[in-house]
Amino acid sequence: MLRFDVLTLFAGYFEPLRTQGICRRAFDSGVVQLHTWNPRDYASGAHRSVDDRPYGGGPGMVMLAEPLLGALHAARAARAAAGAATAPVLLFSPAGRVLRQPEVRELAESSGAVLVCGRYEGVDQRFIDLHVDDEVSLGDFVLSGGEIPAMALIDAVARLQPGVLGDELSAQQDSFSDGLLDCPHYTRPPRFQERDVPETLMSGDHARIARWRRDRMLELSWRRRPELVLELERERRLDRDDLRLLDTLRANGSRGGEA
């Protein structure tokens, strides 16, 4: 069972995952479970405060450790009662490592995770030090909270579950599935605003089509994310034809093979 327990002040963010698109299939089939836990339910005091001013001064507020810990204990107890395995605690933070497809695939094969959605200026560092296993980021930008990154992670993991996608090959052909960006795609009509579908894709020659797609993946990755290609080169995961095209791309600077 793949189960996500989300610590969030705004559980409503996650309802569309249960009712819309591909993710809905994962939840309807029971392949993926999602439970939310509001730290405010575990806060003390008449106002059930979940944040306070930072020590040392400065703008904004900081999430209190105690309500988060109460929510975490409740999530872990519920997981145990349901027979779910112990799961890592992930905090979404600009300081975290950038999430990549290999980590998504690894999580998709696990029992899930406890996801902590921070808000305000951040989370009391003591909670992070004592109870968070890893910090995760979607990139070098700042959001209002961790809910959107958590939704993105759940979506990325859910679509890799068996039976969720209409065609299991779809996940294998996604960007980053083999370390590169995906190739361009075309559909009907064969001509649109004076632009034709590449002849190779209409040839019926499956080997030629496969090579065309691989070349376009390399070319697009080299132009937009060259570090992806260099990583595959270092790991010796490029074949002879890949290396031949890469030599051409290097020789032509920012321009690669003909699309």
Please check whether residue 128 is in contact with residue 135, taking contact to mean a CB–CB distance below 8 angstroms.
yes
**Active-site entry in 54, 94, 184, 198:** 94
**Active-site entry in 66, 135, 155, 174:** 174
Q: Where are the alpha helices (DSSP H) in 39-197?
A: 65-81, 101-108, 125-131, 147-158, 169-172
- Helix (H) / strand (E) containing 33: strand 32-37
**Is 94 an active-site residue?**
yes
Reference 257, options 225, 227, 213, 226; nearest CA is: 213
Beta pairing, strands 2-7 & 191-192: unpaired
**Active-site entry in 119, 159, 214, 216:** 159
**Is 159 an active-site residue?**
yes
**Active-site entry in 40, 54, 105, 121:** 121
* Distance separating alpha carbons of residues 247 and 244, to the nearest angstrom: 5
Q: What is the DSSP letter of 47?
A: T
* Amino acid identity at 216: R
Residues carrying an active site annotation = 94, 121, 159, 174
